[in-house]
Amino acid sequence: MTAAAPVSEPVPLSRNRGYRLLWGGQALSEFGFHATAIAFPLLVLALTGSGAASGLVMGTVAAAQLVTGLPAGVLVDRYDRKAIMLGCEAAQAAAALSLVVAVWSGAAAVWHMVVVAAVFGASAALFEPAESASLPALVADEQLPTAVAMNTARASMGQLAGTATGGFLFAVGRFVPFLVDTVTHTLSFVALLFVRLPRRERPAGGAGPLVGEALAGLRWVWREPRIRVTVLCAVVLNLFFSAFYLVVIVVAESRGVPSGEVGVMAAMLGVGGVLGALTAPVTHRRLGPYGAIVAVFWALAVLAPVTVLVDSGYPIGVLFALMAMFPPAANTAIMTDQLLRTPDELRGRLTSTLVLACGAAGAAGPALGGSLAQLLPGGRAILLCSAGMATAAVLATVSPSLRTLARGHETGRQPVAAD
């Protein structure tokens, strides 16, 4: 008899060269992206004095992300994912550099900024599914929850640091935030050059029509019960939380809360998100996938109506921080399960579908919140949004599909990829 070969332990994430390069490069890239997100409207206002032009430029980023969303997933599944990520970083660096030159020479124009914003939005829509679909090839299956959580922490820290720094950089010079963005995307491009991803087989039968392949991804999402339920619940939650957030801001200002307190209140969402992302691996292990998902729904449903009773911005900020601490663990559970259940040739379309659905709900939420704040007293509008979040919590709690996650956790089984 021959002894069985020992099972090799996966390389820890701290020593996984490919993952560290990807994570570090994107930490820089996201910092630059969020610094320019603050600088963009400031630049438009400084050059034109037009709020409408500022809204046009900022709206272009979101519009480009939405329009590119579904096709992005198809392209990520069809072509080399590393090449797509490199192309996105190169395009953003070139676009930011063109704006640096234009601002420096006094030739900046609104149409130019709209083009740059479109490049930023489309690149973000392409890069996210490419990165998510590449994660299972970079890390072991059992490390995927931690890798997803660390990516969530990176995004929260990039948003918090970039947003806080962007205004300061703009005060130094109007072109400075865009110069910093050029440098960060260039460094990320260089880091990506050294990330090794296994070569993927081209889809059997060649590439089909873009629309047909996008619809195939949507059909996959709809046919998978756990994925379908989590997407629907997340859409409802994002819609009502985005509406709730705007209503709370409107109510706070109507109650005379100083603008400084409102700013601190909003910033606490970022603080809570960072803390939640850093503790997400532990929360995920202790609560299990089902517990982590259900916890975020009930945390928002229970904490949101409390804001009706609070008149000061600082306590509301604490409530915001508590709300923001739970989503990273739920995101870890959802993305881990879905990436492992989805065949590699569909992972790009899976991520793009999730981003598009939740992004559309997040974009529609402020419109809903503005209408509610206009039609109802502030307290009632908050309670109505809370009721919507509670509905999503009930649906997630009683869902038989999501309960299978709890049974898998109790028996110690990891989700397995679909055949």
> Are 72 and 365 in contact, with CB atoms under 8 Å apart?
no
> Are 60 and 114 in contact, with CB atoms under 8 Å apart?
yes
What pLDDT is stored for residue 84 in this prediction? 93
Q: How far apart are CA 418 and CA 224, in angstroms?
A: 10
Nearest to 304 by CA among 362, 367, 220, 389: 389
H helix intervals, 304-377: 313-324, 327-341, 347-375
Longest alpha-carbon distance in the chain? 82
Q: How far apart are CA 82 and CA 193, in angstroms?
A: 8
Q: Where in the chain is the domain with CATH 1.20.1250.20?
A: 15-196, 213-410
Task: Write out 246-283 in H/E/C secondary structure.
Answer: HHHHHHHHHCCCCHHHHHHHHHHHHHHHHHHHHHHHHH
Q: How far apart are CA 15 and CA 250, in angstroms?
A: 47
Residue pLDDT tens, the chain, 419 long: 444 444 456 777 778 888 999 999 999 999 988 888 878 778 888 888 776 777 777 778 878 887 887 788 888 888 889 999 999 999 999 999 999 999 999 888 889 989 998 999 899 889 988 998 888 888 888 888 888 888 888 887 887 788 778 888 888 888 898 999 999 999 999 999 998 887 766 555 555 666 677 777 777 778 888 888 888 888 888 888 888 888 888 788 777 777 667 767 777 877 888 888 888 878 877 888 888 888 888 998 999 999 888 877 788 888 888 988 888 888 887 788 778 878 888 888 887 787 777 777 777 787 788 888 888 887 888 999 999 889 888 988 888 888 776 554 444 444 433 33
111 token code pair:
């149409």
What pLDDT is stored for residue 412 in this prediction? 43
Nearest to 290 by CA among 234, 223, 230: 230
Q: How far apart are CA 178 and CA 168, in angstroms?
A: 13
Q: How far apart are CA 268 and CA 324, in angstroms?
A: 8
Local structure of residue 313 (DSSP, 8 states)? H
What pLDDT is stored for residue 149 in this prediction? 81
> Are 81 and 200 in contact, with CB atoms under 8 Å apart?
yes
- Considering the segment(s) 15-196 as one domain, its CATH architecture is Up-down Bundle (1.20)
213-410 belongs to which homologous superfamily? MFS general substrate transporter like domains (1.20.1250.20)
Q: How far apart are CA 326 and CA 333, in angstroms?
A: 11
> Are 342 and 208 in contact, with CB atoms under 8 Å apart?
no
| DSSP letter string, 87-141 | HHHHHHHHHHHHHHHHHHHT---HHHHHHHHHHHHHHHHHHHHHHHHHHHHHS-G
Q: Is the Cα dihedral 279, 281, 286, 287 positive or negative?
A: positive
